[in-house]
C-alpha cells in the first residue's frame, strides 16, 4: 500500500483556504491519500478539533501522520529533558488517537557535544524508557513511531542509526527522508542502486519488515555541514536533488509499503501529485 500527500499547508491551499477542516476535501480533489499534520512548534490542536478532523480525514480515505515537536531530543544527557521528550511523544499519541492518525514522526536527537556513538547509545536507552512509558499509558490503538533520518551533521539519524532504533520494537519503523540522506552525505543519491542500498541497510537490521516505512521527500540545498533548505521540484537549478524518478522505480520493484510525504518549500501538494504520477508510470 502506498499513499502520497503533502505536509502542512502549501501555498496553493493557503491562497484559497484558512482552516485545517478544509484540508481533507482539498486532498481528495487532488486525488491524494496521505497527509502529515505538523505539531513541530507545539501540540496546538484541542481534542474536539482532533475528533472532527479525524472524522473528515477518515471519510475522505486520507492516511494521516503527525510530525512531533522539534524540541524532542533523546540524546540529551539531562534526565529531566528526556522526561519532557517522552511527554511530547505521549501527548502527540493521545491526539493521534482522536485524529485516527497512525504514524508519529520525530527527530531522534542532536549530538550536543557528544560523539555520535555516545548520542546514539543514549537514544537507544531512552527509546526503551519511552516504550515502557507507552505500555503503562495503555494507549490502545495501532500506531507506529517513526524516527527520521536527519540532514545535518550535528544530528543523529543516519540510515544505519535509524535502522538500529527501529530494531528495538515492531512498533518503530523508519522515516526515510531522502532529501536529508542526500544532504547529509553531500549528494550521494542518484541512481536506482543508490536507493536500493538504503533499503539494504534496513534489511540488515529489520529483516522482512524492511519494506514498511514512512517517507519524506523533497529536494534540499546542502553545504559542508549538510542540509541548508528545502526546495520545490521546479527550483533546483544547481541540481542538489535528489530526484524522485529512480526512487519511484525502486519503491515499485521492492513493493515498499509507505506514506510518501512531500516537504517541498511551498509546493507540497503539487509535488506530491507529481510523485504519485511518477510512481504510477514507473
Ligand atoms: Zn522532520
Going from N- to C-terminal start, the domains of the chain cover 2-281
Cα-to-centroid distance, 65 and ligand 1 (Å): 12
Cα-to-centroid distance, 186 and ligand 1 (Å): 19
- Residues 17-28: what's their mean pLDDT? 95
Cα-to-centroid distance, 106 and ligand 1 (Å): 6
How far apart CA 276 and CA 271 sit, in angstroms, is 9
* pLDDT recorded at residue 140: 84
Cα-to-centroid distance, 147 and ligand 1 (Å): 9
Cα-to-centroid distance, 141 and ligand 1 (Å): 23
Cα-to-centroid distance, 88 and ligand 1 (Å): 15
Cα-to-centroid distance, 279 and ligand 1 (Å): 23
Cα-to-centroid distance, 96 and ligand 1 (Å): 17
Cα-to-centroid distance, 177 and ligand 1 (Å): 8
- Residues 30-37: what's their mean pLDDT? 98
Cα-to-centroid distance, 282 and ligand 1 (Å): 27
What CATH architecture is 2-281? Alpha-Beta Barrel (3.20)
Summarised one tens digit per residue, pLDDT across range 227-249 is 999 999 999 999 999 999 999 99
Q: Are 89 and 72 in contact (CB under 8 A)?
A: yes
Q: Give the CA-trace dihedral at 255, 8, 143, 151, to 10 degrees.
A: 70
3-state secondary structure of 260: strand
Summarised one tens digit per residue, pLDDT across range 91-148 is 999 999 999 999 999 999 999 999 999 999 999 999 999 999 999 998 989 999 999 9
Mean pLDDT of the residues in the chain: 97
DSSP 9-57: --HHHHHH---GGGHHHHHHHTT--EEEEE-TT-----HHHHHHHHHHH
Cα-to-centroid distance, 105 and ligand 1 (Å): 7
Query: What percent of the chain is predicted at pLDDT more than 90?
Result: 98
pLDDT higher than threshold 90 for residue 43: yes
* pLDDT recorded at residue 46: 96
Cα-to-centroid distance, 67 and ligand 1 (Å): 7
Cα-to-centroid distance, 38 and ligand 1 (Å): 9
Summarised one tens digit per residue, pLDDT across range 58-104 is 999 999 999 999 999 999 999 999 999 999 999 999 999 999 999 99
pLDDT higher than threshold 90 for residue 3: yes
Cα-to-centroid distance, 55 and ligand 1 (Å): 25
Cα-to-centroid distance, 125 and ligand 1 (Å): 21
Cα-to-centroid distance, 226 and ligand 1 (Å): 14
Residue 176 Cα to chain centre, angstroms: 7
pTM of the model: 0.97
Q: Are 226 and 207 in contact (CB under 8 A)?
A: no
Cα-to-centroid distance, 107 and ligand 1 (Å): 6
Distances (CA, A) of 251 to 54, 193, 215: 28, 12, 11
Amino acid at each position: 500500500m502506498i499513499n502520497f500527500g503533502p505536509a502542512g499547508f502549501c501555498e496553493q491551499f493557503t491562497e484559497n483556504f484558512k482552516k485545517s477542516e478544509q484540508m481533507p476535501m482539498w486532498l481528495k480533489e487532488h486525488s491524494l491519500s496521505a497527509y502529515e499534520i505538523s505539531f513541530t512548534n507545539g501540540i496546538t490542536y484541542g481534542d474536539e478539533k482532533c475528533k472532527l478532523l479525524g472524522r473528515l480525514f477518515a471519510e475522505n480515505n486520507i492516511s494521516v501522520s503527525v510530525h512531533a515537536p522539534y524540541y524532542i531530543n533523546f540524546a540529551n544527557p539531562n534526565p529531566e529533558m528526556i522526561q519532557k521528550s517522552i511527554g511530547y511523544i505521549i501527548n502527540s499519541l493521545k491526539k493521534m488517537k482522536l485524529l485516527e492518525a497512525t504514524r508519529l514522526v520525530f527527530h531522534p536527537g542532536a549530538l550536543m557535544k557528544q560523539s555520535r556513538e555516545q548520542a546514539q547509545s543514549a537514544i537507544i536507552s531512552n527509546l526503551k524508557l519511552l516504550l515502557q512509558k507507552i505500555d503503562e499509558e495503555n494507549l490502545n490503538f495501532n500506531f507506529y513511531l517513526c524516527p527520521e533520518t536527519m540532514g545535518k551533521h550535528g544530528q543523529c539519524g543516519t540510515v544505519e542509526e535509524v535502522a538500529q532504533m527501529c530494531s528495538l520494537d515492531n512498533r518503530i519503523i523508519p522515516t526515510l527522508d531522502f532529501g536529508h540522506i542526500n544532504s547529509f552525505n553531500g549528494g550521494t543519491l542518484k541512481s536506482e542502486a543508490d536507493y536500493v542500498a538504503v533499503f539494504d541497510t534496513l534489511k540488515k537490521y529489520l529483516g522482512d519488515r524492511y519494506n514498511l516505512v514512512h517517507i519524506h521527500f523533497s529536494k534540499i540545498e546542502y553545504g559542508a555541514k549538510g542540509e541548508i533548505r528545502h526546495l520545490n521540484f521546479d527550483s533546483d537549478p544547481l541540481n542538489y536533488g535528489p530526484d524522485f524518478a529512480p526512487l519511484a522505480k525502486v519503491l515499485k520493484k521492492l513493493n515498499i509499503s509507505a506514506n510518501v510525504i512531500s516537504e517541498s518549500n511551498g509546493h507540497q501538494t503539487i509535488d506530491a501529485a507529481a510523485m504519485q504520477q511518477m510512481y504510477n508510470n514507473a
